[in-house]
Structure 1
Amino acid sequence: MKTQQEFLKLIDKHKGILYKVSRMYMDNSEDQNDLVQEIVMQLWKSYERFEGNSQFSTWMYRVSLNTALTYFKKEKKKSERFTFLENVDKVDEVDSNEKEQQLELFYKAVHELNKVEKALIFLFLEGQSHKEIGQNLGITEGNARVKLNRTKDKLQNIIKTYGYEF
């Protein structure tokens, strides 16, 4: 029987997945926190059925993304979907400030993608191969490659419309 302590250790070890998925799908910290809680709850509910046929992190990606996709469907679409932070802390280093602005712009652009495109970008940024992306999303490796390339192009075009390129 799997214990709560084992589960909590694994969650703590891979907690970055939770925060990355929530940030990818939700645009404010309150919604992100709600999604993290929902993902943890779903992980706990299905932990008994985790057989260890894959790495825990791979299983966690799949549950997290499926939960985010379901949760995202339930959320109302907001009239104004994206806003930049109104009060950005002043950063002494220009490079740090520039990187933070780039990251905010990136996430703003990601929020314009559909749910599958978000999953593709997330898994790509996590360093997964086309094969792994396909397995996690239930599509072929070739389909994952094509969809990912199209999504990267779309993301680049969104960023260009904001008047900024990385």
Structure 2
Amino acid sequence: MTEKEQKLIFNRWLEQHKALVFKVVRAYAVTAMDQDDLFQEVTIQVWNSVPAFRQESSVTTWLYRIALNTAIKWMGKERKHHKQEALESAQSVLHMSDHPIDGRLTWLYEEIHKLDEIDRSVTLLLLDGFSYKEMAAILGITESNVGVKINRIKKHLIARSEKINHYGI
């Protein structure tokens, strides 16, 4: 694969799937600076993985694996990142939108961020409509384990939202 082909694929993937990347970044990094750092880490990993993509899964599944694994490793490093030069083509998609963010969405991301790493990943995959089988393949757990986790996560989030609604927190 030539560098030009790699760049075309990379840019297309980021443009088509930037919402996926932003979701993972927001779920794993709280501050804007950390989000920028994690976004950069994910885009570097995506860039490096383009030549290895063998189309054995969908691009979406491939990108989720990359984004989630990168985010989990990033968190394990206790946010001590190596300074790396930003990929120029990734900078244009870094800033999502000028539209105001719904407070409920902010609350949801805050709650997702409080979950452990695997539950966070399950939640993001669920929100994007992945099947239990796809989630199990991406995360390396069984389908029944995915089901149990989803049930517990839903109960937890419902209980948290009821507290807020009941107490006005």
TM-score, scaled relative to structure 2: 0.77
The separation in 1 between residues aligned to 2:157 and 2:73, in whole angstroms, is 22
1:43 matches 2:42: no
1:120 aligns to what?
122
What does residue 11 of structure 2 align with? Answer: 8
Instruction: State the alpha-carbon separation in 1 of the partners of residues 142 and 64 from structure 2.
Output: 17
2:90 alignment partner in structure 1: none
SS state at 1:31 partner: helix
Structure 2 segments unaligned to the other structure (5+ residues): 80-99
Corresponding position of 1:31: 34
Amino acid at match of 1:125: L
SS at match of 1:27: coil
Matches within 5 A, 1:53-92: 53-75=56-78
* Higher mean C-alpha deviation, range 66-75 or range 152-161: 152-161
Contact 1:22 1:68 in 2 (8 A): yes
Separation in structure 1 between the aligned mates of residue 157 and residue 104 of structure 2, nearest angstrom: 13
Whether the aligned pair in 2 keeps the contact of 1:113 and 1:155 (CA below 8 Å) is no
- Partner in structure 1 of residue 102 of structure 2: 100
- Higher mean C-alpha displacement, 14-23 vs 147-156: 147-156
Q: 2:149 aligns with which of 112, 133, 147?
A: 147
Q: 1:22 aligns with which of 18, 25, 29?
A: 25
Letter in 1 for 2:105: L
| Count of residues paired in the alignment | 145
Kindly report the root-mean-square deviation, in angstroms, between the aligned alpha carbons of the 2 structures.
Answer: 2.2
- Give the conservation status (yes or no) of the 8 Å contact 1:105–1:159: no
Identity within the alignment, % = 35
Q: Which runs of 4+ in 1 moved over 4 A?
A: none
Task: State the 1:163 CA deviation.
Answer: 4.4
CA distance in 2, matches of 1:42, 1:73: 16
In structure 2, the partner of 1:132 is 134
Q: Deviations over 1:66-106 (max 9, x none)?
A: 00111112225xxxxxxxxxxxxxxxxxxxx9x82212221
TM, length-normalised to structure 1: 0.79
Cα–Cα, structure 1 residues 113 and 4, in superposed 2: closer, same or farther, change >3 Å?
same
